[in-house]
Amino acid sequence: MGSTLSKKQKYGVILFCVGTGFLIGGLYFDGKFDKKSKNPQQQIETDNQVQKTNQERDVPQGYDQVLQQAKGQVMVEFQGDYLTMNTINQILQKSMDLAKPEYAQITLENRKQRREAKSQFNSQLYQQLVLDYNEQVENLIERKQIEFCQSLQITEDIFQESVMQLMENGQFQQFFMIQASLRQHIKEAIPSTKTLSLDQLKQIISYQVEIISKIPKDLALMKETLSASQETQQLIPLAVNTIIADYCYEKFQIEEEDMMKLMQNPDNFADQTMHNLMTQLETAMYQFMGPIS
């Protein structure tokens, strides 16, 4: 197609950009994107789908049953030789839902281990646990995507080629926002235990800006470690997100899932202070990533 990048390399570039969006608030972009792109009927359908998903999640089910239900909710459509954007979006969403139970287990176990290492000032172990966590999560998401595609009789090659085709046809921004949003939604796998006010959220985001701007030793070391190759560079924003989450927990005793409800409400971003803070966070992240991106 005129590009020297392999499919895996291209997919890595996408993941890199998604990871950056994930850190600066995928739902922030998703909220702005939804307001611009969804008509009222699409919004109603989305709201109904979310409500249905939430209801299904409240009923204990076996994995095979959940997989079969997910299959029945996806309409596979092609445009020529490639999957449509709508089909890709559904596959990404359903495979992310399928990943939630394992995601919760991986996250809770790793959190405990890495925070213990951090409290003991074991920098080497802490860095390794951060890397292990993000590799495990990315492998899990990829595995569930492949698994769900296979259940729909879609090969991994067809799925990746369809994604690449969308990128080359100028739909990168739309795909980026969808991916970043879904990577925020997967946090719903872990129940929130605290309710935050908007002012508290502002304090947390302001602290995130401060941490990224100061570039503490563990952030600098992680960036240096992962900058060695294009393949590992894609994990930098995700690893940074994990480290920032640990700083926030250390200071506020707040987890990422505790921030979800407020981050999911686009109206909160109409607040000028909140909007300014998100812009500062975006700027700080891109300045941090700049030298290696």
pLDDT per residue over 154-189, tens digit each? 999 999 999 989 888 888 777 777 777 788 888 889
State which residues form the domain around 206.
7-49+64-292
Task: Look at residue 97 and tell me if it is in a domain.
Answer: yes
pTM of the model: 0.80
Q: Which residues contact 255 (CB under 8 A, 6 or more apart)?
A: 190, 192, 193, 194, 245, 249
Q: Is residue 56 part of a domain?
A: no
Residue 78 CA to residue 61 CA, distance in Å, equals 31
**Which phi and psi (to 5°) does residue 86 adopt?**
-60, -40
Query: Does 55 fall in a domain?
Result: no
161 residue type, one letter: E
**Tokens 């239900």 belong to which residue?**
69
What's the CA angle centered on 139, arms 218 and 260, to 5 degrees? 65
Distance between CA atoms of 15 and 251, rounded to whole angstroms?
29
Query: Is residue 199 in some structural domain?
Result: yes
Neighbouring residues of 215: CB distance < 8 A, sequence distance ≥ 6: 288
In a domain, 260, yes or no: yes
What's the number of domains the chain is made of? Answer: 1
User: pLDDT tens digits, residue range 10-69?
Assistant: 444 444 444 544 555 544 444 444 444 444 444 434 444 444 444 444 444 688 888 999
Q: Decide if 2 is inside a domain.
A: no
Residue 167 is assigned to a structural domain of this protein: yes
